[in-house]
Amino acid sequence: MFDGLKDKLSGFREDVEENAEVEEPAEQDGPEATESDASASSETDQAPDSATADAAADTEDEGDDDNEPSTFQRAKAFATGRIIIEEEDLEEPLWDLEMALLESDVEMSVAEQILESVRESMLGESRKQVETTGELVESALHDALLDVIAVGQFDFEERIAEAEKPVTIVFTGVNGVGKTTSIAKLSEWLADRGYSSVMANGDTYRAGANEQIQEHADRLDRDLISHDQGGDPAAVIYDGVEYAEANDIDVVLGDTAGRLHTSDDLMAQLEKIDRVVDPDMTIFVDEAVAGQDAVNRAKEFNDAAEIDGAILTKADADSSGGAAISVAYVTGKPILFLGTGQGYDDLTLFEPEELVQSLLGED
C-alpha cells in the first residue's frame, strides 16, 4: 500500500544525504597523536587564541537570522566531525520532494506544509542529536507527515463506547465509491468488539439499493430498516433509530444516496436528516485511488454538510497515498478507516503513526 510514495520519500532522504556529505576531522595515528589531540583540545577549551575568539565574536551572532548557520557554527561542526544542513543542501531535494508529493496526488497546500515543516526542522541543524544525516531527514519527514495526517484524529471506538446508545452514524459521498459495503464492514467491525448494529437504507431513489444492502444484512445476520423506493430518507433513518431504541441495539448505520455537493435536492436531504435524526457522526466515504478528486470532494462535502470523519476504500490498491495524506488536513476532520479488500473483515482502523512509519520504512 502506497509503495510509490514510499519510494519517493526514500529518494528524498538519499538526495539530502548525498548533498550534505559528512566532513570528518583528520585522524592521526598512535597514542602520541591522541595525547596531543586531547592536550590541544583542552588548551583550546580553556584559552582560545585571540584570532579564534575574535572570529567567533564576529560571526557567532550571524547565524541567528533565518536559521542560517554562522561561520563559527560551521567550523565547530567540522571540528567535531558533524555537519550543518544549509539551504543549498536542501534546495534541490526539496524541489524533488515537492514534485514527488504532487505526483502522488498530495494536495498543494498539504505539500507546501510538509515542505515548510521539513525545511524548518532541518535548516541549520547539525547531527548533534542523531548519528546520521539520514536519521535527521527521517525525523523531519516523520514529524512533518504526522502533523498533516493526524489532524482532528480521535479514538473512534472510545467515542462509540462513551456515547449514549443508540449511536447514529450517517454515511455520505458520491456514487459507486463503496458506501454500502463500508457500512457492512463497519457493522462487522463493531460486532467483533461487542456492539450490535442495525442498518437503515436511506438510499431510497436508486434502483436496486434495497436489494444491495439487504444482501449484506442477510450475510451478516443484521436487521435492516428500509422503505419502498422513493420514500423519505430521513424517515427511514429515523425509523432505524426508533427500532434500535426499542431493541437495545447499540449503533444505527444509515446509508444515503450518492450525490455531488452541487446536487441541491440531495444536499437538502442531508440537511433534513440532520434536523430529523441529529446523527452522532456523519462519515464521508470515497476511494483512496481517486487521489486528488477524493481530496477535493471531501473538502466540498465538508463545506456543504459538515462531516466528522472519512473512510477511504480501495486503499490496498493505491500506490500514491495522496488522499490518505491530504484529506484530514484539508477538511480538519480525520480519516477513521481504510478499506483494504473485498471481505467484511477488510476494514482497518486508521492509525496516523503506523501509516507514517510504513511510509518511511520504519515498521
pLDDT tens-digit profile of 175-192?
889 999 999 999 999 999
Cα–Cα distance measured from residue 290 to residue 270, given in angstroms and rounded to the nearest whole number: 23
pTM: 0.78
Which amino acid makes up residue 267?
Answer: M
Among 7-11, 91-95, 172-176, which stretch is predicted with the lowest mean pLDDT? 7-11
Do 150 and 144 contact (CB within 8 A), yes or no? no
**In a shared domain, residues 190 and 316:** yes
CB 259 within 8 A of CB 224: no
How do strand 347-349 and strand 335-339 relate by DSSP bridges? antiparallel
Q: Is 282 annotated as contributing to ligand binding?
A: no
Please check whether residue 189 is in contact with residue 347, taking contact to mean a CB–CB distance below 8 angstroms: yes
258 is in an annotated binding site: yes
Domain finish residue from 117, 149, 181 = 149
Does 176 appear as a known binding residue? yes
- Residue 68 has a pLDDT of 53
Q: What is residue 309's DSSP assignment?
A: E
H helical segments located in 60-132: 71-79, 87-103, 108-122
Residue that is last in its domain, among 149, 166, 199: 149
190 & 96 share domain: no
- When mean pLDDT is compared across 16-20, 149-153, 271-275, 329-333, the lowest value belongs to 16-20
The answer to whether 314 is a known ligand-binding residue is yes
Q: Does 285 show up as a binding residue in the annotation?
A: no
Q: Is 315 annotated as a binding residue?
A: yes
Look up the domain containing 329 and give its range: 156-359
Who wins on pLDDT, 194 or 54?
A: 194
Mean pLDDT to the nearest integer, 294-316 = 90
d(C-alpha 153, C-alpha 9), whole Å: 23
Q: What is the DSSP letter of 126?
A: B
Asked which of 149, 172, 192 is the last residue of a domain, the reply is 149
Residue 177 in marked binding region: yes
Confirm whether residue 76 is marked as ligand binding: no
- Per the prediction, the chain carries an average pLDDT of 80
One domain, residues 70 and 122: yes
Residue 175 is labelled as binding a ligand: yes
Q: What is the mean pLDDT of residues 38-52?
A: 45
- pLDDT at residue 340 tops 80: yes
* Contact (CB, 8 A) for 213 and 240: no
Asked whether residue 174 is marked as a ligand-binding residue, the answer is: yes
236 annotated ligand-binding residue: no
- CATH number of the domain within which 259 lies: 3.40.50.300
Residue-wise pLDDT tens digits, 143-165: 999 999 999 999 999 999 999 99
Report the half-sphere exposure of 157 (CA within 13 A, side-chain side): 12
Question: Tell me: the pLDDT tens digits for 71-102?
Answer: 555 444 444 445 666 777 677 878 888 888 89
Lowest mean pLDDT among 118-122, 146-150, 261-265: 261-265
Distance CA 160, CA 251 (A): 8
* Count of structural domains, the chain: 2
Whose CA is closest to 162, among 195, 185, 184?
Answer: 195
- pLDDT surpasses 80 at 26: no
Cross-strand bridge partners of residue 200: 225, 254
Average pLDDT value for residue range 29-48 = 46
Residues 141 and 248 in one domain: no
Q: Does 134 belong to an annotated binding site?
A: no
For residue 100, say whether it is annotated as part of any ligand binding site: no
Average pLDDT estimate for 341-345:
93
Instruction: Determine the pLDDT at residue 248.
Output: 96
The reply, when asked if residue 333 is annotated as ligand binding, is no
